[in-house]
Structure 1
Amino acid sequence: MRPFIELQQQLVPDLLYVMKKRYAILNRILSSDVVGRRALATSLSMTERVLRAETDFLKAQGLLESNASGMRITEAGRQLVEALDPMVKDLFGLSELESRIQAYYGLEQVIIVPGDSDTSPQAKRELGRAGAHTLQRFLKPDDVVAVTGGSTLAAMAGQMSPAPQLRGVQFVPARGGLGESLDYQANTIASALAKQVGAGYRLLHVPDHLSEEAYNSLMQEPNVREVVGVIRRARIVVHGIGDAIVMARRRKVDQQTIDEIRSEGALAEALGYYFDRSGSVIHRMSTVGLRIDDLSSADKVIAVAGGSSKGEAIAAVLLFGQADVLVTDEGAARELEFIMNREEIGERPE
């Protein structure tokens, strides 16, 4: 029997178009928290007249509310968007791609959001929302959650919801990060996540990149050693994935080291480790905090990364084999699809 939605589309051909449009409006407002009509119309490439008609309908349905500061989604609207997410993924053909990536890399779950974070700030916000929703599904009382820095996890921090029932939860930075932009430091993100959830947090005030001598000295400090002990006991780890050379330059790695890791085929960076195409670690930084060996004792390792430019980097980290869940966007997922197709015809790394 033909799927009901196909029969419905044949009888009411504009139904899916209207549904996608209204879903896009609700989803954009959900990601933005509060937004004005003009800004919303611009971001959706929609005229204000058309948008006004749609938002008036959505307000009449109890899905939106507005005041002088702009429009905000109601709790009923939030629940509707979350209920529609799987159907929208089917319409965009993302559910099948999620299953394929999951099977290929041996993951527990893959979540793909529409769009490409490289070109769309909205896709970055949606990626953050999906990362936040995924993390909150796994949280339990007394959990320790270690998080890395970066713009994607910063976007995730603002999307968390209060969870007063989760007593004893602590957020910690996965590693030191002084020297990077304050908004994107792991300390900042750990504290922001904790405040959103209503949890506790510990901070690690040490530089991201250290000499071996400085590393050994810092690890003798009782306070540093105590916080690192908490970090390495994390039940959940949430980390980003970066392009190897971009991240090396951002962390002010010396040019000789950059040239060396490039010549060794470095594609990806995560947690201060650099990976080649086959998923092998080819270089590590001396950083205080979570070690890659600690991932094997974590119950859930969630990688959150998007953008078509990161496809190769994400593939390299997934081949390392420690991630349980991948939260990504369509741009990166399509690149992963291309990589899987390439490797399946005989070019898969040994």
Structure 2
Amino acid sequence: MRLILDIQKRLLPDLTDVLKKRYTILHHISTTGVVGRRALATHLELTERVLRSEVDFLKEQGLLVTETSGMKLSEAGRKLLEDMEPIVRELLGLSDLEEKLRERFSLRQVIIVPGDCDQSELAKKELGRAGATALRKYATKDDVVAVAGGSTLAEVADHLTPSVQMKGNVFVPARGGLGESVELQANSIASTMAKKAGGQYRLLHVPDHLGEEAYVSLMQDPNILEVVEVIRGARIVVHGIGDAMVMARRRKVDRLTIDELLGEGALAEAFGYYFDRDGKVVHKMPTVGLRLEDIQSTEVVIAVAGGKSKGEAIAAVMKFGHEDVLVTDEAAAAELIRFI
């Protein structure tokens, strides 16, 4: 297939552009479910005249159907979209990029979705869908799955569906809650994942950022200790990756600690630990939940993070060397290549 695509790129470049455009239209409609033509034209930055021509063609091919609320894919459209995905991935060079990153960071798998989460909500939804697919792939019956918080993990939760291999799974928060929207906290995401996947969940009702004295006190509570032991025995961990300073501010870290992080060269944050550009842990917060040694012994660690702005932070965590699967987007992947 690659040889045919290479020939097509050289002899029929216009055909390649048309293929990408029509795939993008079908893919966007698939992700949103039902969409109006004007909204679609705005999002894809196409004129209504150009989009009308493409939509009319896709309707003639039986790939789209129109309802009063907007357009949606037909069954034939869904099937064609699935068949087109590997071809489009080759055209965009994503397959080669995945393999380069997989080899460089010694990962089991790298999954790259088109777009930039910093610029597009559609790309973020696609990142969530890909993260959910990866979780279903690596899950087995009766697993304990520890999940972190954040908007990206919330998208992963939204895209989970019941599956045989996830039957009996227990979803737990990787650590206590951040001082942010309830729906973005690890407790809420664990609960949503359990409901979507048909599993169970356990919650951890403690703050994420604790002083040493409070941490020691909480770890003596038998009820909290029981949940923490379940969390630390998780077979799968799913987490996001953040910019160190952004995450420090979200955790309302004091000025002295922020100055320490800057002095230590903290670049990235994941599961409560801060990493420098070489993947070295330079700071850790006293949190109730997963510890570094738990991550190092976990069977499957899945990182889901995207956006050009996070490229260097993702590279730092990958250099730490205890990830198994990376799910990211095209913009972050292009940045990652710069830090190899």
TM-score computed with the length of structure 2 as normaliser: 0.92
- 5+ residue gaps, structure 2: none
1:111-164 Cα shifts (integer Å, max 9, x gaps): 111221122222212211211121121222111111111111112222222325
Name the structure 2 match of 1:71: 71
Residue 145 (structure 2) pairs with residue 145 (structure 1): yes
Distance in 1 (alpha carbons) for counterparts of 2:100 and 2:137: 22
Match of 2:109 in 1: 109
Q: Distance in 2 between matches of 1:18 and 1:318?
A: 36
Which piece of structure 1 moves more, 76-85 or 277-286? 76-85
**CA-to-partner distance for each residue in 1:241-286, whole Å, 9 max, x for gaps?**
0011110011001010000011011001000000111111111111
Q: Give how far 1:60 is off.
A: 5.2
Cα 1:13–1:102, aligned 2, differ >3 Å: closer, same or farther? Answer: closer
The secondary structure found in structure 2 opposite 1:274 is strand
CA contact (8 A) 1:178 1:206 kept: no
> Which residue does 1:333 correspond to in 2?
333
What is the deviation of 1:84?
2.5
Q: How far apart, CA to CA, are the structure 1 residues paired with 2:62 and 2:240?
A: 36
Residues 1:92 and 1:8: Cα distance change in structure 2 (over 3 Å): closer
What is the match of residue 174 of structure 2?
174
3-state DSSP of counterpart to 2:172: strand
Aligned to 2:90: 90
Greater mean alpha carbon deviation, residues 27-36 or residues 6-15: 6-15
1:165 shift after superposition: 5.9
Q: Partner of 1:3: helix, strand, or coil?
A: helix
2:276 & 2:53 partners in 1: Cα distance? 52
Which residue in 2 is equivalent to 1:226?
226
Q: Distance in 1 between matches of 2:100 and 2:209?
A: 37
Q: Is this contact kept in 1: 2:2–2:90, CA < 8 A? A: no
Partner letter of residue 87 of structure 1?
I
Partner residue, 2:122: 122
The 2-side partners of 1:131 and 1:39 are apart by 26
CA contact (8 A) 1:164 1:198 kept: no
Aligned to 1:310: 310
**Matched-pair contact (CA < 8 Å) for 1:178–1:205:** no
- Give distance in 2, aligned partners of 1:130 and 1:297: 24
Following TM superposition, by how much is the alpha carbon of 1:21 offset from its aligned partner in structure 2, in angstroms?
Answer: 1.5
Residue-by-residue CA offset, 1:279-318 (whole Å, 9 max, x unaligned): 1111111111111211222221111111111111111111
Shift of residue 56 of structure 1? Answer: 4.5
Quick one: structure 1 residues 257 and 21, their matched pair in 2 at CA, closer, same or farther if it must change by over 3 Å?
Answer: same
1:90, 1:173 → 2: CA distance? 37
Q: Classify the secondary structure of the residue corresponding to 2:38.
A: helix
* Offset of residue 222 of structure 1: 2.3
CA distance in 1, matches of 2:92, 2:222: 52
Amino acid in structure 1 at the alignment position of 2:172: V
Q: Identity, % of aligned pairs?
A: 64
* Alignment of 1:202 onto 2:202: yes
Kept in 2: contact 1:35–1:70 (CA 8 A) = yes
Q: Alpha-carbon deviations, 1:43-64, whole Å to 9, x = none?
A: 1112334434434544555544
Q: Following superposition of structure 1 onto structure 2, how do residues 12-31 of structure 1 map, counting pairs within 5 Å?
A: 13-31=13-31
What secondary structure, in the 3-state scheme, does the structure 1 residue paired with 2:166 have? coil
CA distance in 1, matches of 2:155, 2:141: 24
Distance 2:57 2:162 in 1: 29
Matches within 5 A, 1:147-296: 147-163=147-163, 166-296=166-296
SS at match of 2:29: helix
Code of the residue aligned with 1:308 in structure 2: it is K
Task: Tell whether the 8 Å contact from 1:64 to 1:73 is kept in structure 2 after alignment.
Answer: yes
Q: Which stretch has the larger CA shift, 56-65 or 39-48? A: 56-65
Provide the C-alpha distance between the structure 1 equivalents of 2:310 and 2:154, rounded to a whole number of angstroms: 17
- Map of 1:131 onto structure 2: 131
1:40-83 CA-partner distances (Å, limit 9, x unpaired) = 12111123344344345445555444433333345554443343
Partners of 1:164 and 1:197 within 8 A in 2 = no
Are residues 13 and 241 of structure 1, via their aligned partners in 2, closer, same or farther at CA, if it must alter by over 3 Å?
A: closer
2-structure distance, mates of 1:59, 1:195: 36
Q: 1:165 to 1:75 in 2, by over 3 A?
A: farther
When residues 2 and 131 of structure 1 are mapped into structure 2, their CA distance, relative to the original with a 3 A threshold, is closer
Partner of 1:345: none
How far, CA to CA, are the matches of 2:2 and 2:179 in structure 1? Answer: 58
Conservation of the 8 A alpha-carbon contact between 2:167 and 2:197: no
Residues 36 and 70 in structure 2, CA contact (< 8 A), matched pair in contact too: yes
Pair 1:250–1:19, CA change in 2 (3 A): same
Report SS of the residue matched to 1:245: helix
Change (3 A) 1:249 1:89: same
Letter in 1 for 2:174: A
